Amino acid sequence: MSLLTVGSVAFDVLETPFGKTGKILGGAATYITLAASYFTQKNNLVAIVGDDFPQSMRSVLENRGINTEGVEVRKGEKTFYWSGKYHDNMNVRDTVEVQLNVMGDFDPQIPKSFQGAKYLMLGNTSPTIQKSVLDRLHKRPKLVMLDTMNLWIENTYDDLRTVLREVDILTINDEEARMLSKEYSLRKAAKIILEMGPKMLIIKKGEHGALLFHGKNVFFAPALPLEEVFDPTGAGDTFAGGFIGYLAESDDLSFENLKRALIYGSAMASFCVEKFGVERIVNLTREEIEERVSEFVKLSVFQLV
């Protein structure tokens, strides 16, 4: 089934204890669509860049079969820029610099050929932008997934609540779930958030895995304990992309299949952190992915006697 992703494409400059990059390809929608590309063939992207965005980076997406017809190039303007620095244990990250540039007035236009998407991923942008995408689709997708962040919860709470009413799956991290629900217990937080609109909630806990809540069902996907986390940038988006890509490919929304999608998402995220930026997720094979998934089976499946 077709997947439509709307979100940021960016230049990132990353510094970790392992080194520093130049300007590399980044942005939530980049990671999402790259991860999804291993599953779904119809992978449509709506984003915005400046005319400083090089063809070489656009090719990284196109080489993975991502349709970039919806990537607007704003003449005379600059691409969204973010630079960040990770500290020793990779758990603390400082934003060094943000230049919104073209993202400042991103007004996503949906190409005609992208209409009718069955699966929609609203990457982390303002709730107003996210809502406008829903309003511009002629037909509601079968599944709408939305990612957001602390900034929007704090500054545009009402707008966020409005768009949440139209969403099937919300994906946020544990801190954001606590912030949005005003509850520390994630179980209680999930209950409150599921009353705001979304039928399903994914709480990402980084190196501690991810929880999926759906009605009374709860499923937990661990993160793979890795020898080395090289660069955590984009891991959450890669997870989301693997998850929704797997769903779009299988087109099965049973809880059993949602569990599998969560595991595939976690597997994709485990690759992402092994190298800088998107480096590790641009030329994987499906065999490598299946092998990684089998590590998750070993890691978490047990049988009672």
Q: Which residues contact its own copies (rule: CB under 8 A)?
A: 88-89, 184-188, 205, 208-209, 211, 217-220, 222, 225-229, 256, 259-260, 263, 293, 297-305
Q: How far apart are CA 243 and CA 5, in angstroms?
A: 13
Longest dimension (CA), the chain: 67
Count of alpha carbons within 13 Å of 181, Cβ hemisphere only? Answer: 25
- Closer of 58 and 259 to its own copies (Cβ): 259
Shortest distance, position 192 Cβ to its own copies, whole Å: 12
Q: How far apart are CA 196 and CA 72, in angstroms?
A: 33
- Closer of 152 and 296 to its own copies (Cβ): 296
- Closer of 285 and 297 to its own copies (Cβ): 297
Shortest distance, position 89 Cβ to its own copies, whole Å: 5
- Closer of 47 and 210 to its own copies (Cβ): 210
User: DSSP letters along 185-203, please?
Assistant: SHHHHHHHHHTSS-SEEEE
- Closer of 151 and 226 to its own copies (Cβ): 226
First to last CA, the chain: 40
Q: How far apart are CA 171 and CA 122, in angstroms?
A: 10
Structure token digits, residue 272:
């992402």
Place of tokens 């059993």: 256
